[in-house]
Amino acid sequence: MVRLIALTVPNNDSIIRHCSVAGLNDDGSVGVGAFFRSQRHAYLSVNWLQGAQGESTEAKWRETLRLIRGCRTVKPTHVLAALLAGTVRELHTIESLACVLTVDHKPTKENRPHSGISGVPIETDPAALAVAQALATHVTEQRRVDRI
């Protein structure tokens, strides 16, 4: 039996968020809708890019997309958005947010690089918009899935 151990994603590593069309702005850029947390989820699901298998960064992006496709519907117009884990942790200081966010590795049997952003208020909370705006503003890279 393989034991999955949770750990903190390093500050300089990237986390990847799957964004459906509903989470994109009209121009195709990642918008606030990609970072709202529903009440049925305890955290925002992301994947730890450097935790994915692959020799190169490109191979890690492809592997991340493959893993995400294994657990949700992914259409060609969807986007994968990257953020730095350390920046996400510092958003309460950078953006004067009322909540502190954490980024932890939460591996599953099917998705070893699976991770989560905890501390994000549910979408009905008044603070949710500020957090979503801060996350969307700090996306470092985005790729349409049909181009990965």
Q: Report the C-alpha gap between 80 and 112 in whole angstroms.
A: 18
Summarize pLDDT for 109-124 with one digit per residue, the tens: 999 999 999 999 999 9
Q: What is the pLDDT of residues 5-62, one digit of tens each?
A: 558 899 999 999 999 999 999 999 999 999 999 999 999 999 999 999 999 999 999 9
pLDDT of residue 6: 55
Instruction: Report in angstroms the alpha-carbon separations of 132 from 4, 10, 75, 107.
Output: 30, 22, 22, 24
CA–CA distance, 115 with 51 (Å, rounded to integer): 10
- The pLDDT assigned to 5 comes to 56
Q: Are strands 14-19 and 102-105 parallel, antiparallel or unpaired?
A: unpaired
Predicted pLDDT of residue 1:
40
Model pTM? 0.93
- Residue ranges of domains in the chain: 14-147
